[in-house]
Amino acid sequence: MLAEIVAIGSEITSGAKLDTNSQWLSQQLSDLGIPTGFHTSIADDLEANVACLRLAVERADVVIVSGGLGPTLDDLTRIALATVINRPLVLDSDALTTIEEMFRKRGRVMSDRNRIQAEFPEGSTPLANPIGTAPGIWLEIPRSGKSPCLVAALPGVPSELKRMFEEQVVPRLPATGEVIRRYRIHCYGCGESQADELLGDLTARGRDPEIGITAHEATITLRIEARGKSEAECQAKIDEAKGAVWSRLWKFAYGVEDEELETVVLRTLAHYGWTLGVADCATGGWLARALGALEAEYPGRALVVTGVEEKVAGVLLADLEDDIHEHRVGRLAAATREHLRVNYALATEPYPDLTPDEIAQSRLRIRVAVAGPDGILVDSLAIGGNPAILPARIGKTALDLLRRELPSRLQ
């Protein structure tokens, strides 16, 4: 069984609005064992709507349509669906009563245009909308040589769509007897192709469970997706795949699921009752933001001082002025540790003011350092590459250096 999500509206195809419904619907269907093969967004054009819906009914077994159910001339989903099944639109008096009632309750006058929201393709089932004026539509469209295609049209307002999907579409979808479960493992310090090579045939297509690789700001994520008849079966497959991934990428793997490097670091620090100080001259606020986002979960665990080196030095480290360059970032970390009276300190080295193009081409390496009870560790990274992710790369390199130094590893 394969699903297609169709989002209708020129506000989406024009870029005025970001469609988030399709992502949410795919996640829900996936949990029910129904994979989504296609997302389609169409402008408010009847011919295009009819053609896209015909194609969806042909290539997918479940089609979830969002949007185009409002009262305006732009709203074409009702008439497009009626055209696809070659039936007229007919007024549903129960639906009309409900819409009239909704307007009365909100103390508003119902416009004549809203009557059209009570019209449905003949033979379809209205789906009640408990929190808005647009009812949805449920259709089972016969197909030659195949099971009927199940079509649900829902309003585009996310809160209405979500509630109606859960309450009225899910119970109408057939049980697939299949369960899908996912698991993510995150790595830092290796490239996407290096990870792919280390994993060998584990990422081959058609493998069960499937293992995909994605990269985001230099973090490499392995996404395991297991299908089975039960949650236990999926879990067993995931456990096996986890072991296989682990044995090949243990050097780089730092966390799972929603864990970021900073989560792992702060959790470990909190476990031991330790604190962290950061003198950041390079990430332009990235470290402050990453650690600051966890302030509520691990209050007071990390104290971040940002600013160019002169500032940090001026305030914290006046004695470092004539330090030789190579040891500077290590000394900065050590001085930060002492000055802020923390258990561990991170420091990042400032780098020259470069344009994005100069960064992309640069062969410069910059240093990050950790100072802890056992001394000072320094690592470095090449700044060349995508300038947009450089702050994240520097911050993550610093956090990863600290993570490796801390006693506990993955849970």
Scan residues 270-299 and list those touching a second copy (CB under 8 A).
280, 283-286, 288-296, 299
Closest distance of CB 307 from a second copy, Å: 4
Q: Which residues, numbered 13-42, are part of the site for a second copy (CB under 8 A)? A: 13-20, 22-30, 35-42
- CB-wise, 38 or 140, nearer to a second copy? 38
**3-8 vs 125-127, strand pairing mode:** unpaired
- CB-wise, 205 or 409, nearer to a second copy? 205
Closest distance of CB 6 from a second copy, Å: 10
Q: E strands of 217-299, at which residues?
A: 219-228, 253-256, 276-280
- Total residues contacting a second copy by CB under 8 A comes to 120
Q: Which residues, numbered 160-179, are part of the site for a second copy (CB under 8 A)? A: 160
What is the token pair recorded at 92? 């549903």
The half-sphere exposure of 305 on its side-chain side, counting CA atoms within 13 A, is 25
Under the binding rule (CB under 8 A), the answer on residue 196 touching a second copy is yes
Closest distance of CB 194 from a second copy, Å: 6
Distances (CA, A) of 49 to 10, 135, 303: 11, 19, 55
**Geometric angle at alpha carbon 250, from 246 and 255, rounded to 5°:** 80
Residue 76 CB partners (closer than 8 Å, separation 6+)? 8, 44, 45, 46, 49, 68
Q: Which residues, numbered 130-159, are part of the site for a second copy (CB under 8 A)? A: 130-132, 157, 159
- CB-wise, 87 or 284, nearer to a second copy? 284
Binding mask 307-346 for a second copy (x = CB under 8 A): xx-xxx-xx------------------------xx-----
With CB under 8 A as the contact rule, the residue among 1, 248, 389, 404 that binds a second copy is 389
Query: Could you tell me which stretch among 229-237, 249-257, 377-385, 403-411 binds a second copy (CB under 8 A)?
Result: 377-385
d(CA 267, CA 271): 6
Under the binding rule (CB under 8 A), the answer on residue 257 touching a second copy is no
User: Helix or strand or coil: residue 264?
Assistant: helix
Residue 164 CB partners (closer than 8 Å, separation 6+)? 127, 128, 129, 130, 136, 154, 155
Is the CB of residue 120 less than 8 Å from the CB of residue 126?
Answer: yes
Closest distance of CB 298 from a second copy, Å: 10
Under the binding rule (CB under 8 A), the answer on residue 105 touching a second copy is yes
Give the closest residue to 314 by CA, choosing from 335, 292, 287, 289. 335
Q: Which residues, numbered 199-218, are part of the site for a second copy (CB under 8 A)? A: 203-205, 212-215
Q: How far apart are the first and last CA of the chain?
A: 37
Under the binding rule (CB under 8 A), the answer on residue 88 touching a second copy is no
